[in-house]
Every structure is written in C-alpha cells, then in structure tokens.
Amino acid sequence: MLKVIKLKKGLDIKLKGEPEKIFGAAEKPLKYALKPTDFVGLTPKLVVQEGDKVKVGSPLFLDKNKPEIKFVSPVSGTISSVNRGEKRKLLSVVITSDAVEDYIKHDVGDWEKMTREQIINIILESGTFPFFIQRPYGIIANPNDIPKAVFVSCFDSSPLAVDYDFAMQYDAEYLKKGIKVLSKLTNGNVNLGISKKMLNSKIFNTEFLDEKNLVITAFAGKHPSGNVGVQINCVNPINKGDIVWTIKLQHAVMLGKLFEKGIYDASKVVVLAGSRVERPCYFRLLAGAPVSIFSNQIKKEDEKGNRIISGNVLSGSQISEDGFLGFYDDQICVIPEGNYNELFGWAKPLRMKKFSMSHSYFSWIMPDKKYDLDTNYNGSVRAFVINGQYEKVLPMNIYPVFLLKAILAGDIDKMEQLGIYEVIEEDFALCEFVCTSKIDVQKILRDGIDLMIKEMTS
Amino acid sequence: MGLIKEIFEKMKPTFSKGGKLGMLSSTFEAFESFVFVPDAVAKSKGSHIHDSIDLKRTMSVVIIALMPAMLFGMWNTGYQHFLSVGKDAGFVDMFFYGFLKVLPLIAVSYAVGLAIEFASAQIRGHEVNEGYLVTGMIIPLIMPVDVPLWILALSVIFAVIIGKEIFGGTGMNIWNPALLSRAFVFFAYPSKISGDKIWIAGLENAQNVADGFSGATPLSYAAANEIDKLPDTVDMFLGIIPGCIGETSTLAILLGAAILIFTGIASWKIMLSTVAGALFAGFLANMFGGTPYLEMPAWQHLIMGGFAFGAVFMATDPVTSSQTETGKWIYGFLIGIVAIIIRLFNPGFPEGMMMAILLMNTFAPLIDHCVIQSNVKKRLKRKSIL
C-alpha cells in the first residue's frame, strides 16, 4: 500500500472556466518562440541570427556560464526575429516554422547500458537539460552535480490545472521510459508524488512504472499539495548542502521520447482555461507555441480587457496577445483585468462576486461556488500587520513571515536557518494571494534567493 | 458612482505632488481609497488574483466587534450615574446620558489620533494606515468616563507618537498603543484613573450622592479584601458595575469575541490561553489561600475589571502579540498569570491586565525567538534520506 500523506494546510481557489476533458483542435501555428526569460537567473549567449535555418533540436542560445547547457529550437524553420529589451537583454528568439519538421537525430543506441555520464551528455546535447530544475534556488541544475534524489509531481493542484491522469493516457509508455532515465541520474530515489484521487490510476503505480529506486507517495490535501517543493519537504527535505533535481511530468515524458526515438519532441498537453475563454479545454501543442492561435477563443467582453497568463493564476507570467507559451508551463489562463474602482468595496457586507479565505466575507457559505476573479489587488499595500495568515496556506514547517523579514533585512544566516533552501516562489504563491497587506511575497522571496545565490557563489 | 468618481478625478491634480495642495497628498489618497478600492492590478509576475480581504475590512470587523461593548458602556454610564444620585430613569435616558458622555471621548480620540496619523503619513510620504481606526475606538473604552478631554488628548498623542510612529507606524510597534495611552494616564495623572470616585460620571464632584453609594469597582473591593461586598456574579457578568466604559460587560465582550473568532481576525489561541493562565494563577492562589481575596474563586477574576476586554481586544493585537502559533499559547498564558499576580499581590494597583499585556508585548519577540530557534534546530537535526 502506498504511503498517503495528509496535508491539512492549503487553499483551493475555485475559478470559473475549468477545462473540459476533451482535446480541442488548434490551427498549426506559424511562429514559435524560446524565451530566455523563462529560465531563472540565466545569462544567455545567442548562437543564431535572423535568417538562420534551424532544425528541431538546433541550439538557439547557450548558458554563458555553462555553455554545455543548450537551449534548442522546438521546431524546424527560419529564425524570424531576435527580440531584445533594455540594455540589449535577450527576450526571445522567434522561429517561423516549416511545414514539415526536420529533426536532429541523437544516437541513443543501447542507452540502458550507458554510464550516467554518457546519459547526461545525450541530455545536454539534445537540449533537454534545462528540464532539470534544482532545489535549492529553483534554477537550472548543474550537470556536474549528482542529486540526492529526483522529484516529479504527478498532479497539479493549482486552479484550472491540467489533470495528468487524463492528459497522460496516450504517453504512458514514454513516461515509463522517462522515469527509467531519471532513475539513472541519481544515487538516491526517484520520487513521484500523486494525489489521493490517483491511487487507482493505471499509469501512476509501481507495477506499471516498475523501477528499483522508484518511490511513489500519495498526497491528500488542498493546493499547494501538488507543488513539488511541498512534496520534497514531506518526503526527503532539503538540508544545507543537499541538491535535489525536479522535473515537470511532461518533461519526463519528453525525456522518454528522446531516449525512445532519439529526437527532441517538444509536444505537450496544454490547457486553455479561465473565465474569459469561450470553451476551456485541452490542446496538444509544441513548447513555445503562440497564444495568438487562440484569439478567437478569448472573450472580449468589456473595455477592462483580459489578462493572459502563461502558467497558473497564482505564480504564472503575464503574456501579451501575441505572446508565447512559457518553457515550463502547460497552462494558459485568461482572466479579466481588474483595473476599476469599486465604490466602498471593503465596506460591502456581502461582495458575493469576490472570494476570500477569511470569514469576514461570506464566501465560506458556498464552498463549491466558482468565482470569476480578476487581477485587482482588492486593497492597498501595507506593512505586515496580520499574523498567522500565511501559515494557514503553507503546509511546510517553515515560518514564512520570519523568512520574508530575514530576506528584507538581507540576513543570509537567518534566511538559511529559516529554510530558504526548501522553497521557491510557487510555494509561497498562496501566501501572496491571502495577504491582507497585499505584499508581493513571491518577488521578495526571489530577491532573497538571488541574494543567496550571489553569496554562495562569491 | 460616476459623479463621485468625477469629483475625485477633478480634485486629484490639486492634491498630487506638485499641485497646489500637494502637501495633503497622503490625506487625499486616504480618502480616495476609503471611498474607492484602488484600481491597482497584479504585477506581470506573481499572483494574478488576490483575496478580497484588506486591512480596511479587517479593521472594520474589529470595530463591529467592539460595538456591543461600546453600546453597553454608554448605557451603563447612564445607569451608574442615575444610580449614584439615587434617581429613577428610563432606558432611553440612561443610554442618552451615557451617549453624550462617551461621544466626546471618542471624537477627541479619533480627531487627535487621526490628525497625527495623517501628518506622519504625509511626512514619510506613505499612505495612511488603518491601524488607528481600532486604537481610536479602544482608547475611550478603557478610560474612566470622567477623564478630562485634554488628558485623553495628551495620552493619545503619547500613544501614537511614542508608541507607534517612532517605530515606523502600524505594523512596526512593540506595545499596544491603546494600552500605552492608558498607562500614560495612569502614571502621569494617577488621580484621574484610580480610586473609588472616578468610575462614575459626575461622582467626583457630586453633591447629591445617594446614601450608602460608594462607586468602588469590584476590583477595589477585592483588593481591600472585602469580598462580601462584591456585586452579584450575574451583575458582574452582565457588566452592571462601575469601571472603565467598555470593560464592564463580559457578555458584550464575549459577543465581540465571537465575531473576532468566527471571522478569524483575532487569535482564539491567545484568548483561550489568557483565560487558562488566569485560572491557573487563580487556582494556585485558592490552594494556598490566606486572605479572602486569595480565596476568592479563580473564575471570578474573569468577569471583574478589564480582564475580558484585555484578553479579547488587546492581547490579540496581531502586531504586538506573539507571531508564532506556539508562541501565542505561551504569550497568552503568561498574560493571564501575570495579570492575576498583579491583582493579588500589588497593593498599589488593583487592575493587572494593562501591565500584564504591556509586559508580555515586550517579551513577545523573545517568545517568538525561542519558538523559531526550536524550528531552526529541528531543521538542522533532520536526517537526509539518500
């Protein structure tokens, strides 16, 4: 019997526009993009220029500090533009795709007999190494490290998320292969976290994914129980000096395809969801696909406009109407903007259209009601006043406010003692949501992690 | 809505930086955000949605929770006054008498306190914080009704400037500002806040006091070991006794507590552990005994003086209390113990709640430090699975 870990803390925010479990047909996009800004802390070194021909798997840019880490094109085609921002910061490389994909073939041969080093080399060469995110810090892993464990969360508990039990049904064999690859990368365990609902899943069980060092743990509880950081904290917490690698489930599938077919196949299941989507459902897209293919799916109801988010509504990034899906994201959410003034909003007794975890409003009366939340802050920014609020939505043995204050004070020792190695932004996303003082918790945390990286490397 | 919005938009340039009245920009902003929830939207990275709660909502819930105690205090002010002069009066007369007595206190407290808040927000270029909305209501409720308005004003100035603004404003203060104002009156003008005569409106200078009427609070009887003179338990619970305006009725305060606990605005852990601490100290005193006061049943402490008001509205102040959940238990428990010890063993001051809370406010960071250190140690001891 699997170990089931019950998490009492957390919060499920029920939003309108949940994706229906069907696959929609999207037109084939003309343009794709790879955005260096998706990779935390990356200094990219561009290796192509406008007009260059690329294949699927051709490097577009490298990590300047570790040039062996390559970032490759998801499609074959021609580089149509290289976009830069302030100080010539590289923002995106856009590729106009060919009608037929032309893949770079990698020789994976009899990979099961290969050494770890050889496997890592194939991963680096194929451009799939950026799949691996290390904890601490939530940055791309270092190929020279041997992680104490690899973690994959097999469910997403955030609002409007992909249901992987549904999405993975056609990719099960590749997933199995991907897990096999992962098991070669660590001396410790490969840990899968599944939700309690998936206990009877045909895919996520130890008989199907038969691997010696595979550990599956089930989690029961609200969001953020699906966050890999929370799962690591429960199963095998990160102490000082530890390194754990995490990989998104769909990236593990892509890894499986790489070692099965010898190519970088960037296709993944993506949901288009949110209250401003005509018909929220699943799609199969290539990484870096443009959201413009969905323009007829997005409702244009009023002058307030929409916010398109790559990733989930709690920690994703805003993208424009001609923006592209982020490298790690498998969710595109469209919700209304909140740029309006509400007359005496805070004084209204009911305010039925808004959601609050607190009982000072009445959303607790209807726990199953779905909300059409917008991007308004619902208040002004204040100092930390209320306490005990963040703790209710953070199922880790961490004191979030004290950690944040240590970050604000720039106190490296305290940050370390209070557990900064164990968390990244998404783990604190709900803290930001519930905050009475409207503090940008995730931004503070990232600044703290950046400071930590700077201190530890210098 | 359109019209009000237009008025604000028209006035905005005048009050913005560089405008004619630019020096009042914080004040303008405060009024604007009072009327309209700002149209600020989430940044491009981070949480794109936010809970509908904000500090204004939080503070207004606390004010609602204070209403039963305040309204009862108004009535009781009238009731005690007419009782002291031996006159019969109807409910409306009593309430109206108290209303007229209490209203100026509330008005002065808000006017002085908010003026300082607005000014200091302007000096710092911050937005005005909502913290004083609650403090300004609590201060009159923990004063004797006859406190002179100028003393009240002074105490508010002291509490807001020394107690809060020099630390950086709401959220940064160490001590509960409302209690600081009371402590200020207690030490600077002791005759205005102690003795038997000052708790009832008009009693101090009254000519026509009813025969046998003393005006002493239950606590002063108890401190004098005259337990037999204590009012009836039901009267004490309902609050038909002399005392500070808002503190007498345990029932009204419990109503407030119910609101605070249900909405989750104040910590039930602190309330419960404060009561537990008081009962613990009270039982110990009962066990050893010696004087009638020491032998008075421990639970009676809960309905006398400012214990209930302090436990519900002031010990739970989120800024000055312990911030960790474990710390809250310790913090509350110690408040209860210290309050009862001061009551029982300090001859100079019958009420111990104020001092107990201020003392534990001082120690709250230390309690938190210990709790956090144990978390840190646990993290260091954790074994890695390889």
**More confidently predicted of B44 and B385:** B44
The arithmetic mean of pLDDT across residues A99-103, rounded, is: 91
| Residue carrying structure tokens 């953020």 | A224
**Which one of A314, A376, A382 has the shortest CB-CB distance to B171?**
A382
Task: Evaluate if residue B366 carries a pLDDT over 70.
Answer: yes
A358 vs B265: CB contact, 8 Å cut-off?
yes
Tally Cβ neighbours within 10 Å of residue A158.
25
The secondary element (H helix, E strand) that includes residue A59 is strand A59-63
Does the beta carbon of B365 lie under 8 angstroms from any beta carbon of chain A? no
Quick: pLDDT tens for B291-326: 888 889 999 999 998 999 999 999 999 999 999 999
**More confidently predicted of A182 and B203:** A182
B53 vs A317: CB contact, 8 Å cut-off?
no
The predicted structure's pLDDT at residue A202 = 86
In SS3 terms, B332-345 reads as HHHHHHHHHHHHHH
For residue A382, give both structure tokens: 């204040």
Does the beta carbon of B207 lie under 8 angstroms from any beta carbon of chain A? no
Average pLDDT, chain A: 93
Which B-chain residues 98-137 have CB contacts (< 8 A) with chain A?
A: 127, 129-131
Task: Evaluate if residue A135 carries a pLDDT over 70.
Answer: yes
What is the band of A449 on the pLDDT scale with cuts at 50, 70, 90? very high
| Residue carrying structure tokens 């007369």 | B93
What is the band of B168 on the pLDDT scale with cuts at 50, 70, 90? confident
The arithmetic mean of pLDDT across residues A404-428, rounded, is: 95
A358 vs B325: CB contact, 8 Å cut-off?
no
Task: Evaluate if residue A53 carries a pLDDT over 60.
Answer: yes
Domain residue limits, chain B? 55-205+217-371
What is the band of A1 on the pLDDT scale with cuts at 50, 70, 90? low
Mutate to test the interface with B, among A232, A358, A427 (most CBs of B within 10 A): A358
**All domains of chain A, ordered by start, with CATH?**
3-24+117-261 (3.40.50), 31-105 (2.40.50), 377-458 (no CATH)
What is the band of B18 on the pLDDT scale with cuts at 50, 70, 90? confident
A189 vs B385: CB contact, 8 Å cut-off?
yes
B375 vs A440: CB contact, 8 Å cut-off?
no
Cα separation of A69 and A410, whole Å? Answer: 31
Picking from B183, B210, B205, the residue whose alpha carbon sits closest to that of residue B194 is: B183
The arithmetic mean of pLDDT across residues B127-151, rounded, is: 92
The predicted structure's pLDDT at residue B1 = 62
Strand partners, A220: A6
A399 vs B324: CB contact, 8 Å cut-off?
yes
- Residue pair A426/A315 in contact (Cβ under 8 Å)? The answer is yes
**More confidently predicted of B59 and B210:** B59
Which B-chain residues 137-176 have CB contacts (< 8 A) with chain A?
A: 168-172
- Residue pair B273/B331 in contact (Cβ under 8 Å)? The answer is yes
The predicted structure's pLDDT at residue B386 = 57
Which B-chain residues 253-272 have CB contacts (< 8 A) with chain A?
A: 262-265, 267
How is A188-204 classified by DSSP, letter by letter? SEEEEEEEGGGGG-SSS
**Which one of B38, B53, B168 has the shortest CB-CB distance to A360?**
B53
Long-range contacts of A316-322 (CB under 8 A, 24+ apart): A316/B45, A316/B48, A317/B44, A317/B45, A318/B44, A318/B45, A318/B48, A319/A291, A321/A291, A321/A292, A321/A295, A322/A290, A322/A291, A322/A292
B265 vs A382: CB contact, 8 Å cut-off?
no
Task: Evaluate if residue A111 carries a pLDDT over 80.
Answer: yes
Residue type, B188: A
The arithmetic mean of pLDDT across residues B87-97, rounded, is: 91
Does the beta carbon of B369 lie under 8 angstroms from any beta carbon of chain A? no
Distance between B264 CA and the closest CA of chain A, angstroms:
6
The arithmetic mean of pLDDT across residues A67-93, rounded, is: 95
Chain B neighbors of A379, CB-CB under 8 A: 37-38, 50, 53-57
The predicted structure's pLDDT at residue A86 = 92
Q: pLDDT > 90: what percent of chain B? A: 63
The secondary structure of residue A362, as a DSSP letter, is S
Cα separation of A84 and A95, whole Å? Answer: 15
* Burial per residue of B300-320, b for 16 or more beta-carbon CB atoms within 10 angstroms, e otherwise: bbbbbbbbbbbbbbbbbbbbb
Distance between A14 CA and the closest CA of chain B, angstroms:
12
- Residue pair B119/B96 in contact (Cβ under 8 Å)? The answer is no
Quick: pLDDT tens for B33-45: 888 888 889 999 9
The predicted structure's pLDDT at residue B384 = 64
The predicted structure's pLDDT at residue B312 = 96
For A15, phi and psi rounded to 5 degrees?
-110, 155
Question: Above 0.90 for ipTM, yes or no?
Answer: yes
Using DSSP, state whether A187 is helix, strand or coil.
Answer: coil
What is the band of B355 on the pLDDT scale with cuts at 50, 70, 90? very high
A344 vs B35: CB contact, 8 Å cut-off?
yes
B61 vs A419: CB contact, 8 Å cut-off?
no
- Which chain B residue is nearest to residue A378, measuring alpha carbons? B52
Picking from A169, A157, A245, A167, the residue whose alpha carbon sits closest to that of residue A194 is: A157
In SS3 terms, B203-242 reads as CCCCCCCCCCCCCCCHHHHHHCCCHHHCCCHHHHHHCCCC
Rg (CA), chain A: 22
Task: Evaluate if residue A64 carries a pLDDT over 70.
Answer: yes
Does the beta carbon of B86 lie under 8 angstroms from any beta carbon of chain A? no
A237 vs B382: CB contact, 8 Å cut-off?
yes
Cα separation of A127 and A138, whole Å? Answer: 19
The predicted structure's pLDDT at residue B222 = 86
Residue type, A257: K
For residue A430, give both structure tokens: 């709900």
Quick: pLDDT tens for A263-312: 999 999 999 999 999 999 999 999 999 999 999 999 887 778 999 999 99
Picking from B97, B128, B98, the residue whose alpha carbon sits closest to that of residue B115 is: B128
Query: How many helices (H) does chain A have, and how many strands (E)?
Result: 9, 21
The predicted structure's pLDDT at residue B385 = 62
